[in-house]
């Protein structure tokens, strides 16, 4: 078989590989690059839309199944992994934040369900997967992020007068809590609040970020409105607990985001069952499944269930769970939730702006 026939057969074979989350051909999406034939092996650089992709094994075996034994003369596939996080499309009337590819808000119908815990640990899980991540604590009424990350210093400004985010465990962090004096009453309202929020978005030197995670105050108030109306938000994640008997607050939240054109990425159930820190066994104390039912009712993806684990609360004093205990089963749950969120972000971006069809891949015959 001649070389050009091998290249053509390889191209036909690779064109059948479908991205398991985006459900479109990976070749067409430009995700298979630097394809080179060297003897009886093919090497491919697979460029994922997020480094937090849990499906690498599946993608690898799909490529192998498409090629090995199909393309004559090819017996092995060598995959190298790379990522290029997709970016939210702009929206008319909403100002992009320079350098920020995606902004994901963590919200809940009421207080105390674990928004800050989820924001901090999902941000850390994304960062640990290799993404560049920022965390904006937009809970002006009770900014808890500094406490959870052990941040006590005040942010500084760069030469142009833009605020420099604080750094914690590889995250870039901006919080109202670091500019308020302890115990100072919060009096942000209406126009003043909107102005302060704009400064936190646009007068900050965020640098290049794949994900900006935003910890929202509870409910559907001024902060949510202000943020959703000023910036292009990739989407919102709804955090709930099994005890959320009244779903009215939650559905108000979902409806608010939908009205503001902010996609709802899905539902996370927190405090879902109890995991014994000694034996890792799970017991359902308050019941589970409410989050999944909610997701079904609103036809939203269910992003995962995080159990009650006393070590999560203990980690709220500066060394968050995903820093000190990421190797535990609950650490794996946070990683899964983060991957799910990243996948929904990629889907949202591809649905909003289909990428241009790639020209035929350039394939190279090595040696
Ligand atoms: N899965 C969990 N297991 C154990 N404790 C948890 C879990 N999730 C959150 N907590 C604890 O519950 C309390 C409330 O969580 P958190 O502060 O994250 O909620 P919140 O929704 O941000 O609250 P607020 O509305 O006050 O901002 C904290 O003490 C936190 O450490
Ligand atoms: Mg909070």
- How does residue 359 score in pLDDT terms, banded at 50, 70 and 90? very low
Mean pLDDT across the stretch 39-45? 94
Task: Retrieve residue 146's tokens.
Answer: 């500094």
- Which pTM was predicted? 0.90
- How does residue 358 score in pLDDT terms, banded at 50, 70 and 90? very low
* 321 Cβ contact list (under 8 Å, min separation 6): 117, 121, 309, 311, 312, 315, 330, 331, 334
Domain count, the chain: 2
Q: H or E element: which one contains 115?
A: helix 115-128
- For residues 329 and 278, which has the higher predicted lDDT (pLDDT)? 329
Residue 59: give its domain's CATH number: 3.30.300.130
- For residues 176 and 331, which has the higher predicted lDDT (pLDDT)? 331
Closest-lying ligand 1 atom to the alpha carbon of residue 307 = 1
Looking at every residue in the chain, the average pLDDT score rounds to 88
Candidates 106, 111, 116, 311: which one to mutate for ligand 1, based on the most atoms within 8 Å of Cβ? 116
Residue 95 lies in a domain: no
**45 lies in the same domain as 171:** no
Closest-lying ligand 1 atom to the alpha carbon of residue 272 = 1
Nearest ligand (C-alpha, residue 114): 1
Nearest ligand (C-alpha, residue 309): 1
- For residues 183 and 10, which has the higher predicted lDDT (pLDDT)? 10
Nearest ligand (C-alpha, residue 337): 1
Lowest mean pLDDT, pick from 3-7, 39-43, 120-124, 132-136: 3-7
- Contact 285 CB / ligand 1 (< 6 Å): no
Single residue among 53, 84, 115 that ends a domain in this structure: 84
- For residues 246 and 37, which has the higher predicted lDDT (pLDDT)? 37
Please write the tens of the pLDDT for every residue from 222-258: 888 889 888 899 999 999 998 775 677 888 899 999 9
* 223 Cβ contact list (under 8 Å, min separation 6): 138, 139, 140, 193, 197, 216, 217
- Contact 44 CB / ligand 1 (< 6 Å): no
Residue 74 lies in a domain: yes
Residue 363 lies in a domain: no
- Residues 18, 25: Cα–Cα separation, whole Å: 4
Candidates 114, 319, 330: which one to mutate for ligand 1, based on the most atoms within 8 Å of Cβ? 114
Mean pLDDT across the stretch 199-205? 92
- Residues 75, 159: Cα–Cα separation, whole Å: 57
| pLDDT for the residue 47 | 95
Query: What's the Cα-to-Cα distance from 140 to each of 124, 187, 231, 250, 350, rounded to whole Å?
Result: 22, 9, 18, 20, 33
Task: Retrieve residue 110's tokens.
Answer: 């009421």
**157 lies in the same domain as 200:** yes
Question: Does the pLDDT of residue 354 top 70, yes or no?
Answer: no
**273 lies in the same domain as 175:** yes
Residue 324: give its domain's CATH number: 3.40.50.300
Residue 359 lies in a domain: no
Residue 315 lies in a domain: yes
**108 lies in the same domain as 79:** no
Please write the tens of the pLDDT for every residue from 52-95: 998 999 999 999 999 999 999 999 999 999 999 988 877 777 88
**183 lies in the same domain as 281:** yes
CB 13 within 8 A of CB 66: yes
Please write the tens of the pLDDT for every residue from 298-347: 999 999 999 998 888 876 677 899 999 999 999 999 999 999 999 999 99
Candidates 112, 135, 146: which one to mutate for ligand 1, based on the most atoms within 8 Å of Cβ? 112
Residue 90 lies in a domain: no
**282 lies in the same domain as 185:** yes
Question: Does the pLDDT of residue 216 top 80, yes or no?
Answer: yes
**74 lies in the same domain as 162:** no
Residue 350 CA, ligand 1 centroid: distance in Å: 33
Residue 111 CA, ligand 2 centroid: distance in Å: 7
- Contact 180 CB / ligand 1 (< 6 Å): no
Single residue among 84, 119, 144 that ends a domain in this structure: 84
For residue 194, what are the domain limits?
A: 103-352
**268 lies in the same domain as 157:** yes
- Contact 144 CB / ligand 1 (< 6 Å): yes
**114 lies in the same domain as 80:** no
**71 lies in the same domain as 131:** no
How many Cβ atoms are within 10 Å of 332's Cβ, its own excluded? 12
**68 lies in the same domain as 172:** no
| pLDDT for the residue 194 | 86
Closest-lying ligand 1 atom to the alpha carbon of residue 315 = 31
């Amino acid at each position: 078989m001649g070389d050009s026939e091998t290249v053509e057969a390889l191209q036909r074979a690779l064109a059948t590989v479908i991205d398991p989350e985006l459900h479109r051909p990976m070749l067409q999406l430009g995700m298979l690059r630097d394809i080179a034939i060297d003897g009886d092996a093919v090497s491919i650089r697979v460029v994922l839309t997020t480094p937090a992709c849990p499906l690498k094994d599946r993608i690898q075996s799909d490529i192998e199944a498409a090629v090995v034994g199909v393309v004559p003369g090819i017996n092995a596939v060598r995959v190298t992994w790379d990522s290029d996080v997709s970016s939210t499309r702009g929206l008319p009337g909403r100002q992009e934040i320079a350098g920020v590819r995606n902004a994901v808000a963590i919200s809940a119908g009421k207080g105390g369900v674990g928004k800050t815990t989820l924001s901090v640990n999902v941000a850390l899980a994304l960062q640990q997967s290799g993404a560049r991540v920022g965390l904006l604590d937009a809970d002006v009424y009770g900014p808890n992020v500094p406490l959870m990350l052990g941040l006590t210093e005040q942010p500084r400004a760069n030469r142009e007068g833009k605020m420099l985010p604080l750094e914690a465990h590889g995250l870039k962090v901006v919080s109202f809590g670091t500019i308020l004096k302890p115990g100072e009453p919060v009096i942000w309202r209406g126009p003043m609040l909107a102005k302060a929020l704009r400064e936190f978005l646009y007068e900050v030197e965020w640098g290049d970020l794949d994900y900006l995670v935003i910890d929202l105050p509870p409910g559907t108030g001024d902060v949510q409105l202000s943020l959703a109306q000023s910036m292009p938000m990739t989407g919102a994640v709804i955090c709930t607990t099994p005890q959320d008997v009244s779903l009215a607050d939650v559905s108000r939240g979902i409806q608010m985001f939908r009205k503001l054109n902010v996609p709802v990425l899905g539902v996370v159930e927190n405090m879902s069952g109890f995991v014994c820190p000694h034996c890792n066994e799970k017991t359902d104390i308050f019941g589970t499944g409410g989050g999944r039912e909610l997701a079904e009712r609103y036809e939203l993806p269910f992003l995962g269930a995080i159990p009650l684990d006393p070590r999560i609360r203990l980690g709220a004093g500066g060394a968050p769970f995903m820093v000190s205990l990421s190797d535990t089963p609950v650490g794996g749950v946070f990683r899964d939730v983060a991957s799910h969120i990243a996948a929904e972000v990629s889907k949202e971006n591809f649905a909003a702006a289909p990428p241009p069809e790639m020209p035929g891949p350039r394939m190279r015959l090595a040696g």
